[in-house]
Chain A
Amino acid sequence: MMATRTTDVQTDAEELVKARESQAPAKQPLVKPVDDPVIYPLELPESETRLTTPAVGQRATRPDGRLHGLGQTQYIDDITFPHMVHAKVLRSAHPHARILNVDTSAAEAMPGVLATLTGKEIPTNSFGPTLQDQPVLAGEIVRHRGDGVAAVAAVTEQIAADALEKIKVEYEPLEAIFDPLVALEEDSLKIHGGDTNVYASKVIKKGDVETALAASDHVIHQQYQTQMVEHVPLEPHASIASWDGNGRVSIWSSLGRITLGREDLARTLNLPQAKIRLIGTIVGGNFGGKNEITNEPILAMLSRKTGRPVKSVFTRGDEFVSSTIRHPFTMDYTSGFMNDGTIIARKIRLILDGGAYCSWTGTTIGKGSILAPGPYNIDNILVEAYAVYTNKTTTGAMRGFGAPQVCFAYESQMDDIARTVGMDPLEIRLKNAFNEGSSSPTNQSLHSVAVKESLTQASERFDWKGWQND
């Protein structure tokens, strides 16, 4: 049910805020300057690169680049609407807990606070690109510290932030798991119920890896690990929602994928897609981190409750704690190879720390597994990969979907193989690298392959052969 605050209450709140005149921002300069000091160039010639045909291959300058340099680009936080209010989200106090009660009454009573929202009020409180296992605002359980538990809309950001401190949440703390290897254990606590914390797995099998390892001149094994990494877009996630008299909601968002974003909004808000307009602005850095909805449904609900446009901008802290991050991988690599450096077998096991929710793990485990053997002709391959839930920050899409992790492993091992057989790192790679028409680990015939070309060209540019260590 959508509770709408009465006009009286709103007016009261506004009066109170007005009374605190010195604390509420005055939106316009009181002394209007005679000449606005902002003068933008209007008659600038275009760069030749934009005027030349053929267009492909030109080092064409970017029309958005000029506006960036002028400070004229409008990111979400640069947009304001009349009567716009600000939302903040309260984050979980525990990595894993049952929510017993959320009491927002003290927050709602604060002057300047127009509405609050809890997970129970979200029509369909789940989303996710593969599994819909993530709540918009946690309803019954929080599974990591970044989970939102309640939201506030207030006339200023500061009042909204102050109001969060007035929200009383009763938790029953639950056992939490932070180590993916512990989460894999049979008797471990199951973070999303069921009988396992493994929520995605992948197998890539080619040839007969065990026989080939047994037939190899050399077998080496190494475990590699990578860490959790944040995207750090310079622009924090931001959005504005505004409900109109026709029952349509317009949402300006820093999302990088609006078509699917609108599907998620329609689902969570239980609205027809035609009633939702999602507008992407210039995004101030994405890198995979802005490919899911975050506060958008919350703002839509708050806009409907308050009758005002509602904006929220992540703090830098929210950006770390509540947006997705890169999956840490634990990677076991065993390679079998011959005295001449030919790699004949590679056996790989990948454990992905999946964090609290699935997010883009499906894509990450898929790409990570397919790419894991590296760009090499290896006839016998076995890759087994598992993603497990932990009570940590949600891991999702980040530039490369698992590829930087597995590349760290397979390329470290290439050098160790080279050393084992006494070959130069360049030679071992040239010997094993894909050719045009090579068969990939999934038996796909590859076209426009350029591994060897890139190796040769890079080595020449670097002067690999002439290089001396000192």
Chain B
Amino acid sequence: MIKRGRGMACMWYPIGFTVAANASAATVKVNTDGTATLLTGTVETGQGALTVLGQIAAEALGVATDDVHVVSADTDATPMDTGAIASRTTYVTGNAVKLAAEKAREILFESAAPMLKVRADQLEARDRRIQVLGFPSKSVTIGEAAHYSENVLGNPSIGSASYNPPTVEMDPETGAGKPFNTYVYATQIADVEVDDETGEVEVKKIVAVHDCGTPINPMLVEGQIQGGISMGVGFALQEEILFKDGVQVNPNLTNYIMPTSLDMPELEVELVDNYDPTGPFGAKGAGEPTAVPTAAAITNAIYDAVGVRITSLPATAERVLTAIEEKRAIS
């Protein structure tokens, strides 16, 4: 018989390394036509990091995403970066990019101020223009300001900066300290069906609501969450490297069972409205935490469906059936 159940799990997850320094540096150069180049030492590993970093630079400069070209991942050309790890890119590298872009913007403000006959601190950059606060009609284009700055004043608009999240060493006896500067939070809820004659679990739907601070690019955050859940589903139900005498017995994609398109449930993803004042434009991060609560949500739903507590992952059909039979034997 098919039994249905639901289960929830929430989680918290830190951004960046545990206490250890994990700095990022960035350089932003505004070209004389108002476009810009961002140099970052991080690597695009699929998350969309470069798109997000470009959006952060664009936001700080008041231009559009497409105006910023991102150069990355070449030790001969790009500044140091701790890399695509620990869900840190948007937050740590993002902060470095924002600071670098702001430095470049300061140079633009200094050159635009005499053009507009105001003080630099009376200016803002938006919609590809540098304009007087409160008087948007009084403006020059960013290209005009950059050209004037570089080719007339001889002061090219370039900014470099770095960021390292502030932490406090942990006490070796108690762990007390501030290992991370910020954390994200999430809840996932699973709707499952369990075949109580075979132990097979079919995840029908997962609702996932995640906090990532400000989503710099909501589409990419959703993609992270959906992908993280697919890893969570595999962790919950199917995936396991098996050994016999120290030799892996299933080191291939035929016998290592990761979810295919037919094994993934319908996913409903939402973001919590949140803002972290320590992140770039309020952003935190989204990469790893997406995979964290899925397995517990699913095993809690299995309990709800058939009343058995799976304490050992993965919850394979055989394991679930064994638990069901043990429960029947007791009752």
Contacts and interface: CB of A to CB of B under 8 A. Distances in A.
B235 interface: yes
A62 B80 CA distance: 23
Contacts of A260: 82-83
A50 interface: yes
Interface stretch (B9-17, B109-117, B131-139, B150-158): B9-17
Interface in A417-442: 425-426, 429, 433-434, 440-442
Contact of A448 (B72, B243, B275): B275
Contact of A316 (B175, B252, B274, B310): B252
A224 B45 CA distance: 32
Contacts of B235: 226, 229, 404
Contacts of A467: 6
B299 interface: yes
A59 B48 CA distance: 11
Nearest to A426: B8
Interface in B176-228: 176-180, 182-189, 191, 207-211, 213-220, 228
A320 B187 CA distance: 31
Interface stretch (A8-16, A112-120, A156-164, A287-295): A287-295
Interface in B6-54: 6-14, 17-19, 41, 43-46, 48, 50-51, 54
Contacts of B251: 316-317, 320-321
A288 B85 contact: yes
B324 interface: no
A457 interface: yes
B251 to A, nearest CB: 4
Interface string A254-296: 0111111110000000000100111111111111101100000
Most chain A beta-carbon contacts within 10 A, residue among B3, B5, B300: B300
Interface in B284-311: 284, 287-289, 291-297, 299-300, 303-305, 309-311
Given A60-B65, A399-B287, A454 B10 contact: yes
B240 to A, nearest CB: 4
Most chain A beta-carbon contacts within 10 A, residue among B182, B228, B246, B272: B246
B106 interface: no
A468 to B, nearest CB: 9
Contacts of B175: 202-206, 369-370, 383, 441-442
Given A374-B12, A400-B13, A425-B8, A226 B179 contact: no
Given A259-B83, A411-B293, A442-B179, A451 B12 contact: yes
A464 interface: yes
Nearest to A232: B258
Contact of B228 (A64, A222, A399, A448): A399
B189 A403 contact: no
A442 B181 CA distance: 12
B179 A375 contact: no
A60 B182 contact: no
Contact of B215 (A57, A255, A401, A412): A57
A432 to B, nearest CB: 10
A458 B8 contact: yes
Interface in B305-324: 305, 309-314
A454 B291 contact: no
A401 B288 contact: yes
A199 interface: no
Most chain B beta-carbon contacts within 10 A, residue among A257, A290, A383, A448: A448
Interface string A150-179: 000000000000000000000000001010
Interface residues of B, number: 130
Interface string A352-374: 00000000001100110111001
Contacts of B19: 366
Nearest to A68: B46
A148 B9 CA distance: 41
Contacts of A203: 172-175
A458 B50 CA distance: 30
B84 interface: yes
Contact of B65 (A49, A144, A397): A49
Nearest to A286: B45
B319 to A, nearest CB: 11
A442 B177 contact: yes
B126 A444 contact: no
Most chain B beta-carbon contacts within 10 A, residue among A257, A367, A371: A257
B289 A412 contact: no
A217 interface: no
Interface in B84-131: 84-86, 126-128
The 10 closest A-B pairs by CB, nearest first: A257-B83, A95-B246, A280-B73, A411-B296, A320-B251, A55-B58, A286-B45, A204-B175, A450-B211, A280-B43
Interface of B: 3-14, 17-19, 41, 43-46, 48, 50-51, 54-56, 58-59, 62-66, 72-76, 80-86, 126-128, 170, 172-180, 182-189, 191, 207-211, 213-220, 228, 231-232, 234-235, 239-241, 243, 245-248, 251-253, 256, 258, 268, 270, 272-278, 281, 284, 287-289, 291-297, 299-300, 303-305, 309-314
